[in-house]
Chains A and B, each alone.
Chain A
Amino acid sequence: AQSVSQHNHHVILSEAASLELGCNYSYGGTVNLFWYVQYPGQHLQLLLKYFSGDPLVKGIKGFEAEFIKSKFSFNLRKPSVQWSDTAEYFCAARVDNTDKLIFGTGTRLQVFP
């Protein structure tokens, strides 16, 4: 069955540190990939998405992600985190043009000033 794995369950960083959150998916066919963020007390929001083309995708708030097909990965990065980036981050995949997303279990990011 298709699945999305996020191996970092809880990440703690200081402000200005660099961030990379891992995401791997298990599917060999057509896949679209997403990162969502959920700030404390708020609803899930789309950070960025990859459908095709340039595998390096830039999203909002300085986040980017790189699609590496050979590694089945779509890691999220940010060169310098801020306290306001404290949130839970979810990677998700859509396979074979179906209409549902398969989510990972999420990574909780805490950024300390």
Chain B
Amino acid sequence: GAGVSQTPSNKVTEKGKYVELRCDPISGHTALYWYRQSLGQGPEFLIYFQGTGAADDSGLPNDRFFAVRPEGSVSTLKIQRTERGDSAVYLCASSLGAYGEGYTFGSGTRLTVV
């Protein structure tokens, strides 16, 4: 597609449940990023993929968060045992090469944990 696609656009889940958030980057973009944006804050880095591998996962807050990109295209962010504090907008971005010379962001998935 023309842009970065994220699904679902909204997700409401109960505390303790498992969720998966999907990102479909721009075709041909090798770099893919996940960010989290809490209310009133700027986006906060979670993880960066170059191809299939996670080149930098230093932003993942704890081991309940995990992300994969098995074929170097679509990525899935997985959150286990969700907590109310996980409620945020999860943003995905992609870029043609490394070093983030201007990402293209998706519209995000708004996750609400009740």
Contacts and interface: CB of A to CB of B under 8 A. Distances in A.
Nearest to A90: B42
25 contacts: A4-B42, A43-B3, A43-B4, A43-B91, A43-B105, A43-B106, A44-B93, A45-B105, A46-B102, A49-B101, A51-B101, A90-B43, A92-B42, A99-B31, A99-B33, A99-B99, A100-B33, A100-B48, A100-B100, A101-B45, A103-B42, A103-B43, A105-B41, A105-B42, A106-B42
Contacts, number: 60
Q: Chain B at the A interface: mostly helix, strand, loop or mixed? A: loop
Contacts of A105: 40-42
Interface string B74-94: 000000000000000001010
Interface in A34-58: 34, 36, 42-46, 49, 51
Interface residues of A, number: 23
A70 interface: no
Interface in A87-113: 90, 92, 94, 97-106
A36 B103 CA distance: 10
A99 B35 CA distance: 12
Nearest to B3: A43
A104 B91 CA distance: 16
Contacts of A99: 31, 33, 48, 50, 55-56, 98-100
Contacts of A100: 33, 45, 48, 56, 58-59, 100
B102 to A, nearest CB: 4
Contacts of A103: 35, 42-44
